[in-house]
């Protein structure tokens, strides 16, 4: 039966965020991957190492970009498809932020193996191919998570990067650049 708990309070979330920022992930937990066939994921302990990994000119510029991230986005509104015609809010990165995010994608994220059953945002995979796996099944459930991207918080990504083996400062900078 579902719990009637409304989830974590604001204070609990802040406590978790503070713990993530202050406590590095122990070395033995850094080797965990998401696939039974792991490829090594590049790692960096600090922003200097992160800058080298991303082939970025300056660790200070990378850190500053993360700390001033709100200055590097413009807001766009487009109409959603369908009958509702509601507006979808897009946060469009400027050239500098886009370049940093592309480096994170190509030098880190694309090197993480994901399980075969993951189809979202994977090259060569699409909705019709995913649907083929469900042909003839008795029941298929389709879900759409409301405001999915808006629900991802910086402290979630910082914890994920630490889990992947990045140091606290590198994880913080990566999470700032990705949210």
Is the distance from CB of 54 to CB of 62 less than 8 angstroms?
A: yes
| pLDDT at site 30 | 40
The neighbour count for residue 51, using CB atoms within 10 Å, is: 21
Averages of pLDDT over each 10 residues, the chain, 179 residues: 42 49 45 48 92 94 94 92 82 95 94 78 78 83 78 93 94 95
Q: Residue 104: is it exposed, middle or buried by C-beta count within 10 angstroms (0-12/13-18/19+)? A: buried
Structure letter (DSSP) for residue 135: T
């Amino acid at each position: 039966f579902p719990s009637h708990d409304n989830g974590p309070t604001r204070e609990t979330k802040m406590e978790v965020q503070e713990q993530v920022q202050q406590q590095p992930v122990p070395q033995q937990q850094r080797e965990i991957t998401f696939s039974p066939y792991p490829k090594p994921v590049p790692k960096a302990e600090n922003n200097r190492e992160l800058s080298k990994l991303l082939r970025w000119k300056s660790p200070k510029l990378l850190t500053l970009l993360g700390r001033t991230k709100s200055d590097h986005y413009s807001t766009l509104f487009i109409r959603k498809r369908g009958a509702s015609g509601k507006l979808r809010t897009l946060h469009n990165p400027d050239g500098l932020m886009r370049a940093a995010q592309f480096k994170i994608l190509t030098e880190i994220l694309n090197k993480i193996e994901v399980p075969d059953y993951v189809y979202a945002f994977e090259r060569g995979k699409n909705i019709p191919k995913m649907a083929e796996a469900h042909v003839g099944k008795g029941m298929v459930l389709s879900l759409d998570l409301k405001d999915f991207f808006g629900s991802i918080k910086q402290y979630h990504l910082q914890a994920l990067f630490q889990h992947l083996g990045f140091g606290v400062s590198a994880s913080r900078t990566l999470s700032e650049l990705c949210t």
